[in-house]
Amino acid sequence: MAHPTPANGTRLVVSPGQVVLGTGAIEEVGEYADLYGNRALLVATEQIDEIHGDRVREQLSAAGIETVSYTDVRPDPTVENIEAAYDVWQRDECDVIVTLGGGSSIDAGKGVGILATNDGHIRDFGVDRAGYEGVPNPTPPLIAVNTTAGTGSEATRSVVVSDESTDTKFLIVSKNVVPDVAVEDPELTRSLPQSHTAFTGIDALTHAIEAYVSVKSYGVPQDFARGAIRRIGRWLPVAWANGDDIEARTEMMIGQLQAGQAFTNSSVALVHGMARPLGAQLHLPHGLANAILLPYVMEFSAMAAPEEYAEIARLLEAAEPGDTDREAADRASEAVHQLCADVGLTSYLDDYGEIPSREEYLDVVGKMAQDAIDSGSPDNNPRKPTREELEELFVTVYDNALAPDSPRRA
């Protein structure tokens, strides 16, 4: 059930200034960059730059835009990534930011923009220090060329940054970091391997589900979330099974965009609160950490929001016609477990994580639980966990999904 806007209050609905969607959208990046400046800082990972970078630079050059590239972004960008990219921005006197990639490149570009127009170190703008809407000034023009489906970062006011000095991740949230233009070309996602199709797809589903059930949700983001849940449930297995299916890639790109619009106008909740410390400790990509946690948090939370979780089950076509809301709600987590199994989610842990022994994991469970609480995200969950419940959830996830001999991995 949506939480209505108070009669005497307002809500700010944010979204990218413009969205360019469809096959061939990348051909328009120069045209849009030309609206904003003359010298672009192109921010990407080395791998994505090798695949798509020349094409973007050609489009920028054809529009008369000089391009300087920063291609050392790592998955889950670090404080050092953002500072180094900002040094390039300053040195070469750039005036427009173009990001190429998924959430990592987009977040790095947002971080550069924050430093370009605001005083301070990037860590100063984390919500734990500056609060929400803690970035005073808008970033320079930012064009996000998306290559995943995905984080939805091109639609959001969020930035997730890894602080390697403390093995933690911190969150920045401000309307002043929302990109001016989102370029959504599904052809670019055809280069995604199955692994990234799987965990970025479940990441997008996580965004939609959390936005839908959050205590901060209301009609607008819930409508975005419904569309995203329905699309992702239908098309993720197809895109995973056949990465060249352009219809599936297009539907997934739309679904992840809707999911980004949903959670940035609602909030994330317990999954994200737990995923940041889990990802930081086990060096898991953000999407994979979210995906591992999602069904367990859904199972934990369904009792507190049966109507919402029942609707999720129905959107995923997992409910039976005669189910009560509580019965359908319990099927929602089962449907997500099945979807994760369909796309081989846990099979990617060997290549994309560093799974410790159970004893080593238990040593950091207390810290992860505290980091989750400190993030504030669990407060948005329909069922608010105690510290002990958080610790139990972390242990359940290890025993059922992370351990080499766990049921989900077996």
Residue-wise pLDDT tens digits, 61-77: 999 999 999 999 998 89
Residue 282: per-residue pLDDT: 94
Share of the chain above pLDDT 70, in %: 98
Query: Domain 194-402, CATH 3.60.20.30 — does that match?
Result: no
* Chain Cα centroid distance, residue 66: 30
Please indicate whether residue 235 or residue 75 has the higher confidence score (pLDDT): 235
Residue 3: per-residue pLDDT: 55
Q: For the whole model, what pTM was predicted? A: 0.93
d(CA 226, CA 322): 21
Q: In Å, what is the CA distance from 83 to each residue of 3, 59, 175, 234, 304?
A: 40, 27, 21, 40, 42
Query: Domain 18-190, CATH 3.40.50.1970 — does that match?
Result: yes
**What amino acid is encoded at 271 in this protein?**
V
User: Is residue 285 very low, low, confident or very high in pLDDT (cuts 50, 70, 90)?
Assistant: confident
Phi first, then psi: give them for residue 158, nearest 5 degrees. -110, 145
Domain residue limits, the chain? 18-190, 194-402
d(CA 198, CA 196): 5
pLDDT in tens, 161-189: 999 888 888 889 999 999 999 999 999 99
Answer yes or no: is pLDDT of 137 > 70: yes
